[in-house]
Amino acid sequence: MIDSTKGRAEPTAIVLAAGEGTRMASRIPKVLHRVAGRSLLAHAIASVTDAGAGRIAVVVGPDREDVGAEARRYAPRTEVFVQTERRGTAHAVLAARQAIEGSSSLLIVFGDTPLLRADTLKALADGLKEAAVAVLGFRAADPTGYGRLLVRNGELVAIREERDASDEERKVDLCNAGAMAIDGRNALALLDRITDSNAKREFYLTDIVALARADKLKVVVREAAEEEVMGVNDKSQLAAAEAAMQARLREAAMRGGAILVAPETVHLSDDTKLGRDVIVEPYVVFGPGVTVEEGAVIHSFSHLEGASIGAGTHVGPFARLRAGTKLGKDVRVGNFVETKAAEFGDNAKANHLAYVGDSTVGNGANIGAGTITCNYDGFGKHRTEIGSGAFIGSNSALVAPVKIGAGAYVASGSVITSNIPDDALGVGRSRQVNKDGWARDLRALKGGQKGGD
């Protein structure tokens, strides 16, 4: 969680998120789509926060409570402003007028640019040490559609939107990334003078450059790598942003000391924490909220979310760890084991084919293949407590709520419906009966009728 109320010297961030996102072809607002498990909006908020923003204002479209709610969920003190009509980027910024008043500086970003680094934004904000406006630019491989930065004698004189540009201006490859820093002393005076006299009849934030120049105010450009300013407008760009973010996260994980055997097959979340010498085998998915301590091994084809994994523990192959899983040190959770809201003490084992949900498993306990904690009765969830050193025989159903004492045994194939004291054996199945000669008699009775193969 991020606190956005700090000293006044820090820039006020304005995140523009009122766009319609039509090209996403989705019921979900564009900025609520996720990259590395975190919404585009949360990425934008994270980057301005890490860049040192004090107040954070998010501008949302009408009837977009869900977007405001996501912003507040991620950064509770976010101020949400509604742009009632979509009349351009300057119009959107002015929807946050209340946040602009009294701010020492503004840092404006788009909500759909998840790869923008905090350091880049810091450099942009630092541009205000020498200028009234700082614009983030980049060299576009294909500048089509972007606003062009028109530089004369080494100085930015205007930004021209594609639709309003001359053929000559369209050849310029230095483009507007969208992020901008504005000195608070000039911000409102400049923004209020922007008009909609252009091809789209929108209030363009980019017009602020020419207006500042007319007032003899200095404008500077800071350049970013194209990859960083990549915007998400459709599902294909969403996938491209995901790929770029994954590459970045894998790099960071490996620099932090984790071993990714086949990095390109490992899917990480923005908040995945991998300790030193953690080994991640090929084809592993880390959903949000996973922490893995030093030296643990995550074997292939495992899917983890909301889980913490202790040092030296082995998970998988083919394990599914769901929210609320906490594994201690040197635990074994093997193939086709699913865990949910389950705490395993050190050295506990569930090596094969088990469901362990809403449970605590004591140190060194051993859960046999085919064990199921029956945690749901169709109405509510109930807990299973397994004491330390307990041994759960294979193919047992533990019907919660139920406690298995420390050091106790559960006989294989049991359905356990009542608590088992420490060091006792619980048997919850009918005794085996052998009927001598029964099979031979059957064969005699059926004679040569045997069918099948």
**Which one of 70, 79, 112, 385 is in contact with ligand UD1 (CB under 6 A)?**
112
**Which one of 11, 12, 14, 17 is in contact with ligand UD1 (CB under 6 A)?**
17
Radius of gyration for the chain, computed over Cα atoms and rounded to the nearest angstrom:
30
CB of 50: closest distance to ligand UD1 in angstroms? 19
352 among known catalytic residues: yes
Stretch that binds ligand UD1, among 81-89, 303-311, 315-323, 384-392 (CB under 6 A): 81-89
**Which one of 59, 135, 327, 341 is in contact with ligand UD1 (CB under 6 A)?**
59
Q: How far apart are CA 308 and CA 288, in angstroms?
A: 11
Q: How far apart are CA 210 and CA 216, in angstroms?
A: 10
| C-beta of 12 vs 89, nearer to ligand UD1 | 89
Q: How far apart are CA 68 and CA 88, in angstroms?
A: 19
CB of 204: closest distance to ligand UD1 in angstroms? 4
> Residues 352-391 vs ligand UD1: string with x where CB under 6 A?
----------------------------------------
Question: Pairing relation of β-strands 332-344 and 325-327?
Answer: parallel
Stretch that binds ligand UD1, among 87-95, 119-127, 236-244, 438-446 (CB under 6 A): 87-95
Contact 180, 205 (CB under 8 A): yes
**14: CB partners within 8 A, 6+ apart:** 57, 58, 59, 93, 96, 99, 100, 106, 107, 108, 109
110 binds ligand UD1 (CB under 6 A): yes
Neighbours of 144 (CB within 10 A): 8
CB of 249: closest distance to ligand UD1 in angstroms? 23
Q: Which residues, listed in sequence order, are joined to residue 220 by a DSSP beta bridge?
A: 134
Question: Pairing relation of β-strands 155-160 and 148-152?
Answer: antiparallel
CB of 150: closest distance to ligand UD1 in angstroms? 12
Q: Which residues, listed in sequence order, are joined to residue 402 by a DSSP beta bridge?
A: 384
**Which one of 46, 67, 205, 221 is in contact with ligand UD1 (CB under 6 A)?**
205
| C-beta of 48 vs 268, nearer to ligand UD1 | 48
**Ramachandran sector of residue 188 (left: φ over 0; alpha: ψ -120 to 50; beta: rest):** alpha
Of 122-151, which residues contact ligand UD1 (CB under 6 A)?
146-147
Q: Long-range contacts made by residues 329-332, C-beta under 8 angstroms, separation at least 24?
A: 329/293
Catalytic residue among 267, 314, 352, 382: 352
Of 155-184, which residues contact ligand UD1 (CB under 6 A)?
159, 161, 175-178
| Start-to-end C-alpha separation, the chain | 66
> Residues 310-349 vs ligand UD1: string with x where CB under 6 A?
----------------------------------------
Contact 316, 333 (CB under 8 A): yes
Give residue 391's identity as a one-letter amino acid code. Answer: F
CB of 19: closest distance to ligand UD1 in angstroms? 2
Query: Which residues are at the interface with ligand UD1 (CB under 6 A)?
Result: 16-19, 59, 83, 86-89, 91-92, 110-112, 146-147, 159, 161, 175-178, 204-206, 231
Q: List the catalytic residues.
A: 352
